[in-house]
Amino acid sequence: MGGRSNADRLRAAILSLAGVRGPSSSICPSDAARAVGGDGWRDLMDDARDAARTLARAGLVDVTQKGSVVDPGAPWRGPVRIRIR
């Protein structure tokens, strides 16, 4: 993939997928992991969550849990969703 790291590819996938959904909807980190990792997507789940955290810190996306925005610097437990800002 042109020498891009998985982290770069995951960030790009998150921005693309969430951008298509728009700010009124969201994606799961697994959507980005599947887009980048194919059959090995499960191995990328931690990396996908890290990519979401990076994008949230940059102000490009919101990460939510149960409909509320979570702090990208705080620990997350359980499922999260990602929406474009």
| 27 in Cβ contact with 17 (< 8 Å) | yes
pTM: 0.93
**Domains contained in the chain, CATH given:** 6-84 (1.10.10.10)
Distance CA 54, CA 7 (A): 10
| Whole-number Cα distances in Å, 67 to 6, 37, 82 | 28, 27, 10
- Higher per-residue pLDDT: 2 or 78: 78
- The pLDDT tens digits for 7-37 are 999 999 999 999 999 999 999 999 999 999 9
Please, which residues bridge with residue 79 across strands? none
pLDDT at 3: 74
Q: What's the pLDDT tens digit per position in 44-80?
A: 999 999 999 999 999 999 999 999 999 999 999 999 9
Is the pLDDT at 2 greater than 80? The verdict is: no
